[in-house]
Structure 1
Amino acid sequence: MIIDTQLDVAQREFVTKLDYYLPDDQIDENVTMLVEWISKQPHLPKITDRKWLKHFIIGCKYDLHRAKQTIDKYFVARAEHPEFICTFDWEWILFNTKNGTICLFPKMTPEAYRVMCIRMKPMEKDMKVDFKLFFQLFLAILDLQMNIEPMHGEIFLFDLENLPIGQFMNLPPTMTKNCIDLCFNSFPVSVKGIHYINPPAFIGQLLTFVKMLLPNKIKTRVYVHQTLESLYQFIPKDVLPDKYGGTAGDIEKFEDKWFDYGKANTGWLENRQKADLSKRINRPNFGELGVEGTFKKLEID
């Protein structure tokens, strides 16, 4: 397996003690209700993959009502922004790995959070970062992850060591806004932290730009680390690769494995489903009870 998905004793204990935790039998009941609800939404694809739906509900903090809202946004956003759900040219992707890469670290934190690392590489002056491709890969990896495991919590680690200001100035604001919306508002992901390491001199400008686009709650979870020592307070060394003073292994091997895994799943990635907006008559009824919802409190990340 490309990532370790089994929770150890400490991770399982942390997860099961969460206020909103539900045991498997109750999650299974919610999956059945979610399948029935989806079947009544004419604009949504008829999803019946119970494992995927279970992962979706867990990512929504076990809240069925929130899962309905998010799954509607998930498929509608993909129809509204098809540029992020694309046909992948793996030769072009391989070429662009000279500029930067994205991967998930194999091991989770003690809280069962997964770390996604986005890092820049040294580049020639005349090269430009293909930010659209980066956003496409970012969402593709999140989709692949949700196929493999439930998202108990996500940490995003940005290594900016080789990001020159010229590339930052080329970052398209509208495209960035749309990608952030797809990730934070239409994905079953609880963002536990956004961490920047090796910050450039213009980090203040970058943070101002990014925070303008983030949900208010997430803004308080953005951290800039001038040294790796402060990063270890959030991500233990045994989760981090050698490059960042950790013991988990070689980051380039992680990146190569994710490239190969994505390439092996090209067919699935290129056929990800989205809503049929022509059939979206009105706002779906997310309901309150039973098949249309639960008593559980709606909690927004």
Structure 2
Amino acid sequence: MDKDNGNKDTASKSTSSSDEWGDKLAELIAWFEGNPNLPEKIEPIVMLRFLKCMAFDVKRTKSLVELNYSMRNKHPHLFMDRNMEDEMTAKGLKVSDLLILPGITPQGTKLLFFRMADLDPHTRNSVEETKIFFMMSDARFTIPDVERGAGNVEDYVLDEADIAKGDVHIVDIEGYTLRHLAYAMHVINCPSYLDRLISMMSPFLREEVRNMIKYHTGGLESLYEEVPRDMLPDEYGGKAGSIAELKARAVQSIKDKTAYLSDERYWKVASQSKSRWSWF
């Protein structure tokens, strides 16, 4: 099979048959395991996520994978030195509600939700929150995004259709001050001054970035037009469960994957001396 099939249109690649992407996946895993610039192991579903992200283009997938692990090894305090029992991690989990909501939207995307549980600006630790986000994401990436109900995990057959096409971020900034404000995909419960603030910031943002951010200043009805209401937490008019229930589930997902998240064979590169990404 030709690795460099970049001349095919994206649509045809994104609808690859299971035989086609299966061959590509096997090729990529073999390449990964024999590459000295990459860790020792990778879960097949994780590699499939990389492949789908790159529209099933093997060459581009290889570049993305090498960049990903090079970045991780350059910044181990964010991506590798992970311990659920760490005091700062525990504090970060306490002051923020970071949730991966169940199911996927009709558009094939996953919903991620964030809000502050403690409004004191002094409790914010962006480094720790970033670390927790990637712990939660890495745990999530090892399981399908489409929930198939009860069953034996060992009987699951890998299917690219069970993997989301992308993520939509929803951030509740109720209680935020200018000292808190950041960016997101959908920003809800916006304060009255935000319209003026957005106007001031717009000239400094690239157009593609401005178009990605949607601010909901008039309640949640406009958000419901963008994402399925039932997929939101109960507190936001949805049926996904309460914030407490969803957070407990999210924390448990990390705990369940503790061995995986701390296993250096999945993350650590022995040597990057030959890596073309060494300048990062």
- TM-score band by shorter chain is 0.7 to 0.9
Amino acid at match of 2:64: T
- Aligned residue in 1 for 2:134: 139
- Aligned residue in 2 for 1:78: 72
- Aligned residue in 1 for 2:47: 53
Structure 1 segment 122-161 matched on structure 2, within 5 A: 122-124=118-120, 127-149=122-144, 150-161=163-174
1:220 matched to 2:207? The reply is: no
Structure 2 residues not aligned, in runs of 5+: 1-9, 145-162
- Aligned residue in 2 for 1:116: 112
- Aligned residue in 1 for 2:97: 101
Distance in 2 of aligned mates of 1:166 and 1:153: 29
Change (3 A) 1:240 1:38: same
1:32 matched to 2:45? The reply is: no
1:65 matched to 2:39? The reply is: no
Change (3 A) 1:217 1:67: farther
Segment drifting more, 41-50 vs 26-35: 41-50
- Aligned residue in 2 for 1:87: 82
- Aligned residue in 2 for 1:6: none
Shift of 1:281: 4.8
Change (3 A) 1:283 1:207: same
Contact 2:92 2:132 in 1 (8 A): no
Distance in 2 of aligned mates of 1:207 and 1:255: 35
1:43 matched to 2:37? The reply is: yes
Alignment coverage as a number of residue pairs: 242
| SS of 2:142 mapped into structure 1 | helix
- Aligned residue in 2 for 1:195: 186
- Aligned residue in 2 for 1:14: none
Segment drifting more, 253-262 vs 95-104: 95-104
- Aligned residue in 2 for 1:162: 175
1:259 matched to 2:251? The reply is: yes
Change (3 A) 1:194 1:162: same
Distance in 2 of aligned mates of 1:166 and 1:48: 39
Shift of 1:29: 0.5
Change (3 A) 1:34 1:96: closer
TM-score scaled by structure 1? 0.70
Contact 1:38 1:44 in 2 (8 A): yes
Shift of 1:223: 0.6
Contact 2:93 2:132 in 1 (8 A): no
TM-superposition CA deviations, 1:245-279 (whole Å, max 9, x none): 22222122111111122123223222350434543
TM-score scaled by structure 2? 0.75
Amino acid at match of 2:23: E
Matched-pair identity in %: 21
Distance in 2 of aligned mates of 1:243 and 1:134: 22
Amino acid at match of 1:59: C
Change (3 A) 1:163 1:66: same
Amino acid at match of 1:102: L
Identify the match of residue 233 of structure 1 among 218, 225, 229. 225
Contact 1:105 1:117 in 2 (8 A): yes
| SS of 1:258 mapped into structure 2 | helix
Identify the match of residue 242 of structure 2 among 247, 250, 258. 250
Structure 1 residues not aligned, in runs of 5+: 1-16, 177-192, 285-301
- Aligned residue in 2 for 1:188: none
Contact 1:42 1:279 in 2 (8 A): no
Shift of 1:124: 4.3
Contact 2:36 2:271 in 1 (8 A): no
